[in-house]
Structure formats: structure tokens, C-alpha cells
Amino acid sequence: MIFGALFSVMNPFGTVPVFASLTGKNSQPERNKIAFWTAFNVFIILLISFFAGKYILLFFGITLNSLKIAGGLIIATSGFALLTGEFKKHKGMKRDKVQADIETRSEISLTPLAMPMIAGPGTISLLINYNQEFRGVNNIAIILGAMVFSVICIYLILKSSIYIVKWLGASGINALSRIIGFIVIAIGVEFVISAVVNIFHLE
């Protein structure tokens, strides 16, 4: 369940067309290297979000229920962007802006690929919430395992992006993203409902 939620919110398949276009002039070994460092950067962002997120909440005086509602709205908005095919615009990834940026930088594994394309605000909110809800060594180990597995999947997906684009095509990737978008909306709604129930003590 944790892996499914985390993977769906990050949605690496939505990043495949962007990755393929940004690395189109690179050789396969170079694409593999960029995919590796993108996955690595995502893992670091996930770790920081999970372990340092609670201190951010304490510093700003944010309650878990407030985080759930805010995070749920962000996640649901991301899902809606996937469902309507506006994922890139939602992430702030206008094509002209990305292309102009890539021409002036040699490093794309951190931005825009790792953040905000894959590990965006929805992912960060999700992990902060997990840190507050799931306690104990076993639960932490399960979440870390889900992170590692997700990152491995991200690496394999990005590494194979050229083949995925050729196999699925633009329509196939859009269809897959819309299916994932529906799941992500449901995850966001569940967050909001859970927070409302806790606030009004309807359990």
C-alpha cells in the first residue's frame, strides 16, 4: 500500500516523455548515468522529507491534520493534472522554458527531473504524513523499503524511457498517466477525509 501510494504520487511514467526529449541527443550510457543520478537525487529528497519533515512541522507549528488537508489537496490537484493531461504545466514544466534551461545547464538530474517532476510537494507531504502516522522500527523499515523499491523502479523506467516512448507512444503514456491520476486523486481525497474525521472526532 505504501509503495503504491508513493509510486503513484511520484508517477515516473509522466516524466518519461520529458526525460526522453531532454536526453534525446545523449548516448545510451549517458542516459543511463542521468537516470541513475535522477533516481539517487529522488532518494535523497525522500529521505530528507521523511526524517526531517516533522521538525519542519514543529518549527512552523503545523498540526498533522492541517498537513493532511494541505497535502491531500496538493496530491489531488496533481492527480487532476494527470487526469486532464496538464501534468507538465502543473509542475511548472513549460516546454520552451525547459528547453531554454537545459541549454544553459549540463545537470538536469536534480532539476527539473528529480524535483519537481518526480519528487514534488505532493510526495513530500505524503512522506511527512507517513512519518507522523507510522511509528516503530518495523514501520520505518517498510517505508524505507518502499522508498528503495520506488527509486529502483524510477531508475529502470527512466533508463528505458526511449523504448517506453516507442512502445507505448504518446497516446499510451497519456492513457497510463490518466489512470494513475485517478488513483492519485483518490489518495488525496482520502487524506482530506481522514483529517476531517479526526478534527470532528467522528471515528
Q: Can you spell out the DSSP letters for 150-197?
A: HHHHHHHHHHTHHHHHHHHHHHHHHHHHHHHHHHHHHHHHHHHHHHHH
167: its cell numbers: 512502445
Q: Check residue 94 and give its pLDDT.
A: 53
The per-residue pLDDT for range 136-190, each reduced to its tens digit, is 899 999 999 999 999 999 999 999 988 888 887 777 877 777 887 788 788 888 8
Given a cut of 50, is residue 105 above it in pLDDT?
no
CB atoms within 10 A of CB 121: 18
Q: Pick from 60, 18, 43: which is nearest to 147 by CA? A: 43
pLDDT band at 88 (very low <50, low <70, confident <90, very high): low
- pTM (2 d.p.): 0.75
| Mean local confidence (pLDDT), 83-95 | 58
With beta carbons less than 8 A apart as the criterion, state whether 61 and 70 touch: no
| Mean local confidence (pLDDT), 92-118 | 64
Task: Report the chain's mean pLDDT, rounded to a whole number.
Answer: 81
With beta carbons less than 8 A apart as the criterion, state whether 122 and 9 touch: yes
The per-residue pLDDT for range 46-65, each reduced to its tens digit, is 999 999 887 887 888 888 78
Domain boundaries, the chain: 2-199
